[in-house]
Amino acid sequence: MARSSTLLLALSLAAPACATVATPREAVLVGRRATVANTTGVAMTAAGTEWFQAAPVRSRVVVGADGETYVGLWIDAPPVEPSGHRLPLDVALVVDTSGSMSGAKIESARMAAASFIDNLAQGDIVSLYSFSSEVRELSPPVLVDDATRAALLDRVRHLYASGGTHLWGGLRAGQLATAAAPASHPVRRVVVISDGRANIGPSTAAEFGDLAAASTENGTQITAIGVGLDYDENTLGALAVRSAGRLYHLEQPEQMAAILQDELQMLSRTVATNAVIEFVPAEGVVVEGTDQLRLDRAGDRVRIPVGSLYSAQHREVLLRARVSGAAEGNRSLGRAQLVYQSPGHVEAPVRSREVALEVEYVSDEARSAASAHERVQAMVTRFEAAQSQMRAAQMINEGQAERAEAELQRAEERLRAAASVQFSDARVQGQLLRQAAGVSAGRSAARRALSAPSPAAVRGASLQNRSSAMDAYGY
C-alpha cells in the first residue's frame, strides 16, 4: 500500500564514508540475505522488453467541451526471476525521535530499523540519522559488512525520544548522504519515519515538496512513513509525490517492521532507475497534470518523473489534453516516450519506442463512446474515485462524516460497476476491485466516526481514506 525523517554522536564505524570506499562488485552473504550483484548482469536480464504504452481514453472525441480528453500512459516492467543477486542499495534511514515518539512508537522504530539493517546485503551503503529539536548523525554513509552492521545495530538500540520536530533538518541530512552515493549504487532511497508535524525550521508542504523534488537530481526517492494520527499528511504526501516515492500510513507503530521489509524487498527487485515519461504535445495541444502528479515542463515537452521501476511493476499516469479550436477530423495530440537508466549502463539512457497519440474529432456521441480504450477508461474511473476519497478525507476532518460516507458510496458503486465489465487484461479488473475494497473500508471508518465520534476515530477515518487515495494514485 502506498503510504514520512535524524543525533550528533561523534563516532566512526569500521568502514569509511561512501565517497572514499572501494565498493566490491559482489559480496557473498551468510544466512537469508541476498548477494549484491554485478549491475551489468541485472541490466541484461531485463533488457529487450517493451515496457511503455500510451493511448487517449477515446480514439474518437466529440467536438466541443474545449476539445478536452484524457491521455493514459502506463509502464509494465518485465518480471525478473530471483537469482539471489540484486543491485547495490544506498539508503539513508531518518528517524523522528521527538518527544511524541516516546513509548511504543520509539520501541517499534528501534525494532524496524534494526530489522531493516540486519537484512541489508554486504556491499550496500547505509547511513542513519535521528531528529528531534536537533539533527544527530548516528552513522555517516558506510559500506555494510559484519563490523559496520553490528555498530549500526548498537546505535539503533540507543534511540530515545525527547524534544521538538526538526523534520526539515532530518530529511536534508538523509538527502546529503544519498547525494554522495557512488555510481556503483544506483538504487537510492531516503526512508523517513515520523509521527508529528515540523515545528523547527521550514514547515509547509510546499517547502518540503520542493526539497523532495531536488532529491531526484541524483536518483533519490523518498519513502515517507507516517505513524499514528498526528503526523502532517500533506507534508509527507508532498515528499512522496515530488520525489516519485512512497507514502505509508501506520495507525499502529508495530506495523513499521513489516513496511520496511516490504520496502527492502521492493528495492531489491529494481530493474530501472531515474525513469521519466516524456510527452511532447502537438501544436495547439495543452497538456495538464491531474491531482497528485508531479509534472515538469522543459522546453517543448513535459516530463513526469517516475523514479525506480521494479520487477513486474505496473505504473500508470493520467494526463489531461486540451485541443484549441478542435474541428471534425483527425488530430495529433503529441508523442510520448519512456526514458530510464538500465542498471549497469548509466552512461546511456534507454529510450522506449515513441508512441504517437492521435484522435478523431466527431459529432456523434455514440461513435465516440464506442471507441473507449478499456485500460485508460479504467484509469479515469480509478482517478475520479481517488478524488472522491480525498474529498471524503477532508469532509471527515471538517466533521462531515455523513457527507463523506455518501461520497464514498458513490465512488465504490462506480468502481464496482466498471469492474463488472469483461476486460481483456485481468489486471485492470483486479485494480478496480482492490480500490473498491479500499473505498469500502474507508466508508466503514467514516460510519464509525459518525456513530461514535471521537477525535481518534475522526482522525483515523480521514487518514485511512487519504492513504487509500494515495495508493490509487501510485504512491
**CATH number assigned to the domain comprising residue 149:** 3.40.50.410
Q: What is the pTM of this model?
A: 0.87
Tell me how far apart the alpha carbons of residues 258 and 124 are, in angstroms, rounded to a whole number.
Answer: 20
Domain boundary residue among 250, 267, 284? 267
Q: What is the mean pLDDT of residues 26-31?
A: 27
Same domain, 282 and 262: no
Q: φ, ψ for residue 335 (rounded to 5)?
A: -140, 150
Q: Residue 40: inside a domain, yes or no? A: no
Per-residue confidence at 14, pLDDT binned at 50, 70, 90?
very low
Q: Residue 167: inside a domain, yes or no? A: yes
Same domain, 380 and 465: yes
Q: Per-residue pLDDT for 31 more than 50?
A: no
Q: Residue 383: inside a domain, yes or no? A: yes
Q: What is the pLDDT of residue 11?
A: 28
Same domain, 229 and 113: yes
Q: Per-residue pLDDT for 10 more than 90?
A: no
pLDDT above 90 coverage of the chain, percent: 77
Same domain, 155 and 226: yes
Same domain, 184 and 241: yes
Q: What is the mean pLDDT of residues 114-132?
A: 96
Q: What is the pLDDT of residue 326?
A: 74
Q: What is the mean pLDDT of residues 124-153?
A: 97
Per-residue pLDDT tens over the stretch 231-286: 999 999 999 999 999 999 998 999 999 999 999 999 999 999 999 999 999 999 99
Per-residue confidence at 65, pLDDT binned at 50, 70, 90?
low
Q: What DSSP character marks residue 233? A: H
Q: What is the pLDDT of residue 66?
A: 66
Across the strands, what pairs with 287? Answer: 321
**Residue the block writes with cell 520542493:** 210
Q: What is the mean pLDDT of residues 386-400?
A: 97
3-state secondary structure of 279: strand
Q: Which of 317, 349, 20, 11 is nearest to 152 (CA)?
A: 11
Same domain, 122 and 141: yes
Q: Per-residue pLDDT for 151 more than 50?
A: yes
Q: Residue 137: inside a domain, yes or no? A: yes
Q: What is the pLDDT of residue 23?
A: 26
Q: What is the mean pLDDT of residues 67-81?
A: 89
Q: What DSSP character marks residue 414? A: H
Q: Per-residue pLDDT for 15 more than 70?
A: no
Q: Per-residue pLDDT for 371 more than 70?
A: yes
Q: What is the pLDDT of residue 322?
A: 87
Per-residue confidence at 87, pLDDT binned at 50, 70, 90?
confident
**CATH number assigned to the domain comprising residue 352:** 2.60.40.3670
Q: What is the pLDDT of residue 27?
A: 26
Q: Residue 123: inside a domain, yes or no? A: yes
Q: How many domains does the chain have?
A: 3
Same domain, 392 and 320: no
Q: What is the pLDDT of residue 132?
A: 97
Per-residue pLDDT tens over the stretch 290-341: 878 999 999 999 999 999 999 999 999 999 998 877 788 999 999 999 999 9
Per-residue pLDDT tens over the stretch 435-450: 999 999 999 999 999 9
Tell me how far apart the alpha carbons of residues 292 and 81 are, in angstroms, rounded to a whole number.
Answer: 32
Q: Per-residue pLDDT for 41 more than 50?
A: no
Per-residue confidence at 84, pLDDT binned at 50, 70, 90?
low
Q: Per-residue pLDDT for 26 more than 90?
A: no
Q: What is the pLDDT of residue 171?
A: 97
Q: What is the mean pLDDT of residues 406-414?
A: 98
Domain boundary residue among 232, 267, 302? 267
Q: Per-residue pLDDT for 44 more than 50?
A: no
**Residue the block writes with cell 550496500:** 124
Per-residue confidence at 175, pLDDT binned at 50, 70, 90?
very high
Same domain, 130 and 254: yes
Q: Residue 321: inside a domain, yes or no? A: yes
Same domain, 161 and 251: yes
Domain boundary residue among 242, 267, 292? 267
Q: Per-residue pLDDT for 81 more than 80?
A: no
Q: What is the pLDDT of residue 83?
A: 65
Same domain, 226 and 106: yes
Same domain, 115 and 242: yes
Per-residue confidence at 401, pLDDT binned at 50, 70, 90?
very high
Q: Residue 357: inside a domain, yes or no? A: yes
Q: Which of 398, 250, 290 is nearest to 70 (CA)?
A: 290
Cell of 64: 466541443
Same domain, 126 and 242: yes
Q: Which domain holds residue 261?
A: 18-23+84-267
Cell of 376: 485508460
- H or E, element range at 367: helix 365-370
- Which amino acid would we find at residue 342? S
Q: Residue 35: inside a domain, yes or no? A: no
Tell me how far apart the alpha carbons of residues 332 and 282 are, in angstroms, rounded to a whole number.
Answer: 6
Q: What is the mean pLDDT of residues 399-408?
A: 96
